[in-house]
Structure 1
Amino acid sequence: MSRLDSMLRRLTAQRDGLNWAAAQINDTDGDVLDMGLGNGRTYDHLRETLPSRRIWVMDRVLQCHPDSTPPARDFLQGEAEPMLQKLAEAGRMIALAHYDFGRGIKSEDIAEAARLSPLIEQVMHPGGLLISGQPLVGFKQIKGPDTIAPDRYLFYRA
């Protein structure tokens, strides 16, 4: 599979997964958390899909497209550990989290996801959903939409 085809497959899975998860959390209280802002495409999609939810965004640096910049009060800039601790200390309960951290080095990305999983668990609303391109630990893995190959995106319930 070409890198272009792989990217299209990943983006389609991400969009389909987010739409599926957004529909699943209708009866769940809590905010949304986008871990890994990047260019801001996912954040932009989440704010359009879930306009009544507060959407927290975290990343090391703010370098997204100007049209996809979150409000300063919702952007947590820095390393993930202190940002997740800040959310936990504030008592934030997340109904839907999207995990998109990574540098593209699979072994390092998997290790980071495993290391951050307990901190993510602290901010999740019981029964909340997590969507991730990396395996997370300590959550119940569930089946996502049929349109997504099981190895492309992972779905969890807190």
Structure 2
Amino acid sequence: MSRLDSMLRRFTAQRDGLNWAAQAVAELDGDVLDMGLGNGRTYDHLREILPGRRIWVMDRILQCHPSCVPPEEDFLQGEAEPMLIKLAEFGQSIALAHYDFGMGIKEDDVAESARLSPLIAAVMKPGGLLVSGQPLVGFEQIKGPETIAPDRYLFYRA
């Protein structure tokens, strides 16, 4: 598969997975967490499909498209560990989280997601959903939408 086809497959899975998860948490009160702002495409999509929900955004630096800059009070800038600890001060307030950290080196990305998993668990509401491009540990893995290959995106219940 070409890198372009792989990227398209990933973006489609990400969109379909987030749409599915947004519907699945419709009855669960709580905020949303987007881990890895990047260009802001996912954040922009979350704003569209979850209007009225507070969306926390986390990244090392703010470098997104100008139309996708989150409100200052919702942007947690810095390394993931201290930002998740800071967010945990609000309690288990996250109903839906999207994990999109990674540098593209599979073994490093898997190790990072495993290391961050307990900190992510500390902010998740019981029954909340996680949509992730990397494997997470300590959560119940669940089946996502039929349109997504099992290895392309992962889904978890807190």
TM-score normalised to structure 1 length: 0.99
Q: Which amino acid aligns with 2:94?
A: I
Q: Which amino acid aligns with 2:157?
A: R
What is the CA deviation profile of residues 51-81 of structure 1, one whole-angstrom value per residue up to 9, with x for unaligned ones? 1100000000000000111010100000000
**1:84 has 2:55 as partner:** no
Match for residue 25 of structure 2? 25
- Report how far residue 90 of structure 1 moved: 2.3
Whole-Å separation in 2 of the counterparts to 1:111 and 1:48: 32
Q: Which amino acid aligns with 2:86?
A: K
Match for residue 97 of structure 1? 97
Gaps (5+ residues) in structure 2? Answer: none
- Report how far residue 119 of structure 1 moved: 0.2
Percent identity among equivalent residues? Answer: 81
Native 8 Å contact 1:144 1:154 kept in 2: yes
- Which SS does the other structure have where 2:103 is aligned? coil
* Runs (4+) off by over 4 Å: none
What is the CA deviation profile of residues 66-119 of structure 1, one whole-angstrom value per residue up to 9, with x for unaligned ones? 011101010000000000000111225100000000000000000000000000
**1:131 has 2:131 as partner:** yes
Gaps (5+ residues) in structure 1? Answer: none
Native 8 Å contact 1:141 1:156 kept in 2: yes
Whole-Å separation in 2 of the counterparts to 1:89 and 1:74: 14
Matches within 5 A, 1:2-151: 2-151=2-151
Whole-Å separation in 2 of the counterparts to 1:42 and 1:112: 21
TM-score normalised to structure 2 length: 0.99
RMSD value, Cα: 0.6
- Which SS does the other structure have where 2:57 is aligned? strand
Native 8 Å contact 1:31 1:92 kept in 2: no
Aligned residues: 158
- Which SS does the other structure have where 1:96 is aligned? strand
What is the CA deviation profile of residues 9-63 of structure 1, one whole-angstrom value per residue up to 9, with x for unaligned ones? 0000000000000000011011000000000000000001101100000000000
